[in-house]
Structure 1
Amino acid sequence: MRLITQLLMRACLVLLAPALSFAQGGIDTLNAKILQSPAMQADFTYLRKALEETHPGLYRYVPKADMTRKMDSLYARLDGPLPYWSYYAMLSSLIGEIRCAHTFMVPTENTNGFLNQARVFPFTIWFVNADQACVVLNRSGDTTLRPGYELLSINGESMQSIKERLWLHAWADGHIESARRYRMSNDMFMLLYYMIIGRPEKFVVEALDAGGKPVRVEVPALVYANTGKLLMKNPVNQQLLKAELPAEKKRGRQPWQLEILKDVPAAKLTITSFGGKSGPDFKKRFGRFLEKSFRELKEKNVSNLIIDLLSNGGGYDAGGVVLFSYLIRKPTRYYGRQHTVTDGSSTYLRFADVSAEDIANEKKGMVREEDGTYTLKRDFDQAVMPNPNGYTGKVYFLVNGLSGSTTAEFTAAAHYNKLGTFIGEETGGAYCGGNGSSFIHLTLPHSKIYVNIPLVYYQMAVEGDCAAGRGTMPDYPVTLKPSIFYDSKNPWEVVKDLIKGQAVKQD
């Protein structure tokens, strides 16, 4: 399964960028930095005002009164000097409380040097379930811990305790546990441990081997960039890498693929990203790809279509809309409403990734609602028209906790309009919609901590318990995980059984 590539190549810098910067020689100068009360209070007030003025989902999952108490409580703790990382953890807990996958913070805006200087826990891990974490890839020079070994503790602290301390800091939409599990199960674990728990020189790791025998090993903290080289050289990883990397490298080179399958009467449409390297030309190139693909499906009279959206983290909004048009049979709403909480006058908009001209144009079409929000006039306000070459056969969607952002919007619309059967995990984006579009890139004046704040809320044209903050739920739940952990059928086997009429629905 493609998770190995996700764990190798979708490292946190894709999610975090802009990320971190440290001094030369692998020394984190922030370790020795002490922040004074006035500076911390000024930064906190600056951040709080930015969130209150511009974040469209600040109170979506936490009532305003509770969020206000949280902020007041944190501010009250800034009455004396604090180590930099203690202050960082406090702010990170606030960002996590917002429960938004597009709202995050990292220590500095400058990305240069981080991978060559941060010394981290040298193992990629996987949370097999809420209570069990295992080694997937050994990124050290030691061969004691092999893929599949269950981790019990790090430096004397149980994995359950570590998970509980880090869980909220691994930002995700609403209450989607699958998304947080993925955030914790790749390079994010290394960085979250580094930023929130500690930066030790060595790690004493206790684990259980494949036979349940206790194993104990001591390994040094390693420069993040070097762990990639060690991972490829370490002999304990070779079996897994040889089994999975070739196909995954091919997928990386071809983010959009249509394949007519031979073992079942079906075609597989794989979309690993609604963006990728196509940049501004995405809509045109993706449109041509879909036009060609759906024409082929019609010409070959393909009766079953598997749309693989596993680990598709999103991209351009238009991608989901265009794909949707090939699956509907009548004009259908996709978005319900898009809104912001600022009328365009906030001074923080000078840090946004939109021009003053674009902001002025948006302002012209804004409609102020009774709740104080501002509805935006967008191209997607009207119903989506069905494509004349649309598909009329059976559709199966493969999804997981990394199917987020644009992908989560598409899956919500497809699920609500009953366009097919969903196999896999709860998606990584909220069913009713999420925050995104344009962003404020904020650097706090004194600590230089960087914060990313979305400006627009995308409300999908669906009905459901939006306050629950859950993603699109699969019809056939199957947990996606590295192949070494499978003790039951994987999503591909389940969807093929469905096509053959052999699948049994699981609870």
Structure 2
Amino acid sequence: MKALIIILTLNLFAVQMVWGQSPEKYTPYKMRQDVDSLVKYLLETHPNPFYRYPEASFFKNVSRIKSQLDRNLNKVDFYLRIAPLLGTLDDGHTDLHIGQFYNSLNPFVLPYHVKLSTKKPFITCSGAYQGLKAELPLGAEILSINNIPALKIVNDIIDLNTGESRLFRAEFGATRFYFYLEALYRANGIYQLKYKSKGIVKAITIKGIRKTVLDDLAKRQADGKNHADRVYALRLLNDDQTAVIDFKSFDWNGFKNFADSAFRVIKEKHVQNLIINLIDNGGGDSDVGDALFQYLLNKPFTQYAKVIGKNSALLKQRLREHRLNKPLDSADKVLLARPNGSLDTQYVDQISIGNTPLRFNGRVILLVNIETYSSASDFAQCFKYYNRGIIIGEETGGLIKSYGDIVTTHLPNTGLELTISSKLYYNVGANENDWRGVIPDIYSSPDKALQRALDVVNGKK
């Protein structure tokens, strides 16, 4: 891997970064071609990309961006120009992806986790990366970075992310905070922070650490831990009367073994209360939710009422790739024969309940927040619809009527990865105008949701 080349030039005392990993720059003609390709793929594949944002406004933005592509740009700078196009559509599954390429440049990283919000405090320190000594206090409010106000940083990040709400886009952007500091503001690994802690405003300069160094540190810390341990965890509280299952994602890998083991412990310990923590769970495979409900429900269920899908060339290409060297079944042949642009509506059958001796019949409390998304929010809506227990936390970022089932392609010249929703999902119980998340029974901030659940368990209001 080539090193990232930093060229220091005197330009109004600014530091310019040159992307050494890929020196290639793209001409305005090629970038405009990519913009046209993005629009073409979007219109051909998405069931209704303008369900919230006016089509005329979108195409006005397209024309403006194309007119401003008047000089050669590298891949990162081109991404910064066009990513806001998709952000306006309020669909978290329709997105451009730069992270893998950007990380290959071995960039500098501000080694702190942060929380971003649309309200004060806009940026909050959530702690240093694991294994590093913290110079910035936990919970400190970051007021500015390199003299850029926190509110501007958050708004710039929101513009470059997709999602169904501005708050979700801010919180999702926090997972790639280091990218924006370098790509947008050219920090070059030097971060001058002004922050407030315990009512006192202070300043500190923090040096960035290269991505490969942090990756090596994370790998060493992860050695000896299996995948399931990192994604799922079981805790016993209150003299084993209460169990907490923490889910970080709906990842099928390792789930069945974990679930059997966890619910066997719950049964053997005669647990009375189960808290399922989906806070910050970004989703994954909805089949994991179906499998989990087998341990929680005693009647047939479905997470979805109906699904409206759009037939397209990209969707058919995805099918052919999945069936490579395998025979096509009758359903595959029907899909491939459907005209591109046509819509199909599928009504979802209920799933039967299996005969498991590990089913839990006690009280269940579900914890959610704005970053409970996609398949995790689908699970929460199903949980609510079948009255399996109470939900505590924030309204989920994932909507109960939402787009998903992504198809993937790449822009022809820059190679940027583009994902596009191909289906519109109606969660069970969702109506035509339900463009909203799952509403909790008890509102709580994420940091206090578990304690609020324990208060319910202990009979407190």
TM-score under structure 2 length normalisation = 0.80
Contact in 2 for aligned 1:100/1:434 (Cα 8 Å) = yes
Which shows bigger deviation, 389-398 or 315-324?
Answer: 389-398
Shift of 1:341: 1.6
Tell whether the 8 Å contact from 1:100 to 1:171 is kept in structure 2 after alignment. Answer: yes
265-274 vs 293-302, which deviates more? 293-302
Task: Identify the residue that residue 364 of structure 2 maps to in structure 1.
Answer: 395
d(CA) in 1 for partners of 2:214 and 2:119? 26
Mapping 1:226-305, distance limit 5 Å = 226-227=213-214, 253=229, 255-263=231-239, 265-275=241-251, 277-278=253-254, 286=256, 290=259, 302-305=271-274
Match of 1:428 among 397, 415, 418: 397
Contact 2:400 2:434 in 1 (8 A): no
For 2:310 and 2:144, the matched residues in 1 are separated by 44
**2: CA distance between counterparts of 1:456 and 1:57?**
9
Deviation (angstroms), 1:46 = 1.1
The match for 2:3 among 18, 21, 24 is 24
Q: CA deviation at 1:277?
A: 3.5
Sort the Cα spacing of 1:156 and 1:446 in 2 relative to 1 into closer, same or farther, 3 A.
same
**What do residues 304-324 of structure 1 show as CA deviations (whole Å, max 9, x unaligned)?**
322222333323221112223
2:285 is matched by which residue type in structure 1?
Y
What SS does the aligned partner of 1:153 have?
strand
Corresponding residue for residue 194 of structure 1: 182
Aligned residue identity for 2:204 = V
- How far is the alpha carbon of 1:202 from its aligned partner? 5.0
Partner of residue 34 from structure 2, selected from 35, 43, 47: 43
2:143 touches 2:196 (CA, 8 Å); kept in 1? no
Amino acid at match of 2:251: G
Q: SS where residue 88 of structure 2 aligns?
A: helix
Q: Which residue of 1 aligns with 2:282?
A: 313
Is 1:409 aligned to 2:378, yes or no?
yes
More deviation, 296-305/413-422: 296-305
What is the aligned-residue RMSD (CA, Å)?
A: 4.0
In structure 1, what is the Cα distance between the partners aligned to 2:100 and 2:314?
A: 22
Identify the range of structure 1 (206-215 vs 145-154) with the bigger mean alpha-carbon deviation: 206-215
Alpha-carbon shift at residue 414 of structure 1 (Å): 1.3
After TM superposition, list the pairs within 5 Å mapping 1:113-192 onto structure 2. Answer: 113-114=104-105, 117-127=106-116, 130-132=119-121, 133-138=123-128, 145-172=136-163, 174-175=164-165, 177=167, 179-186=168-175, 188-192=176-180
Q: In structure 1, what residue type is equivalent to 2:148?
A: E
Q: Is the 8 A contact 2:316 2:336 kept in 1?
A: no
Aligned to 1:452: 419
Q: 1:355 aligns with which of 323, 326, 329?
A: 323
Once the two structures are TM-superposed, the CA of residue 419 in structure 1 deviates from its matched residue by 2.0
- 1:210 paired with 2:197, answer yes
Q: What is the aligned partner in structure 1 of residue 212 from structure 2?
A: 225
Q: 1:211 to 1:193 in 2, by over 3 A?
A: same
| Residue identity in the other structure for 1:453 | I
**CA separation in 2, counterparts of 1:474 and 1:269?**
18
AA aligned to 1:373 is L
Secondary structure of the residue that 2:162 maps to in structure 1? coil
Q: Do the aligned partners of residues 62 and 37 (structure 1) sit closer, same or farther apart at CA in structure 2, a change above 3 Å counting? A: same
Q: CA deviation at 1:199?
A: 1.9
Report deviation, 1:252.
6.0
Letter in 2 for 1:152: L
Flag the 1:112–1:65 CA change in 2: closer, same or farther, 3 A.
closer
SS of the residue corresponding to residue 434 of structure 1 reads: strand
What residue identity is the alignment partner of 2:444?
V
Does 2:332 match 1:374?
no
Q: CA deviation at 1:382?
A: 0.7
Q: Which one has a larger percent helix, Structure 1 or Structure 2?
A: 1
**1:16 match:** none
CA contact (8 A) 1:205 1:218 kept: yes
1:391, distance to aligned residue in structure 2 (A): 3.9
Q: Evaluate the alpha carbon distance shift between residue 320 and residue 375 of structure 1 in structure 2; reply closer, same or farther with a 3 A threshold.
A: same
Shift of 1:45: 0.9
| Equivalent in the alignment of 2:71 | 81
Is the 8 Å Cα contact of residues 289 and 379 (structure 2) preserved in structure 1?
Answer: yes
Kept in 2: contact 1:74–1:90 (CA 8 A): yes
* Separation in 2, partners of 1:101, 1:415: 23
Offset, 1:250: 9.2
Q: Is the 8 A contact 2:165 2:397 kept in 1?
A: no
Q: How many angstroms does 1:122 deviate by?
A: 4.3
Residue of structure 1 in register with 2:303 after alignment = 334
What is the TM-score when the length of structure 1 is the normalising length?
Answer: 0.73
Post-superposition offset of 1:25: 3.8
Instruction: State the 1:164 CA deviation.
Output: 1.0
Displacement of 1:163: 0.8
Task: State the 1:259 CA deviation.
Answer: 5.0
CA contact (8 A) 2:146 2:192 kept: yes
2:85 alignment partner, one of 89, 94, 97:
94
When residues 64 and 351 of structure 1 are mapped into structure 2, their CA distance, relative to the original with a 3 A threshold, is farther
Give the letter for the 2:407 counterpart.
F
Residue 322 of structure 2 aligns to a residue whose secondary structure is coil
| Structure 2: gaps spanning 5 or more residues | 7-18
| 1:26 and 1:118 in contact (8 A); partners too | no
Q: Deviations over 1:391-410 (max 9, x none)?
A: 44322101223322221111
AA aligned opposite 2:439: M
The 1-side partners of 2:264 and 2:322 are apart by 37
Once residues 211 and 290 of structure 2 are traced to their aligned partners in structure 1, the CA distance between those partners, rounded to angstroms, is: 38
In 2: Cα distance, 1:130 partner to 1:316 partner? 32
Q: Can you list the C-alpha shifts for 1:431-450, whole angstroms capped at 9, x where unaligned?
A: 223302x521x222222322
Counterparts of 1:479 and 1:251, CA distance in 2 = 29
Letter in 2 for 1:272: K
Calculate percent identity across the aligned residue pairs.
22
Matches of 2:107 and 2:316 in 1, distance apart? 31
- 1:264–1:500 Cα contact (<8 Å) kept: no
Alpha-carbon distance between aligned partners in 2 of 1:48 and 1:451, rounded to the nearest angstrom: 11
Q: Is the 2:232–2:246 Cα contact (8 Å) retained in structure 1?
A: yes
Task: Check if 1:474 corresponds to 2:445.
Answer: no
Change over 3 Å in CA distance of 1:199–1:465 after alignment to 2: farther
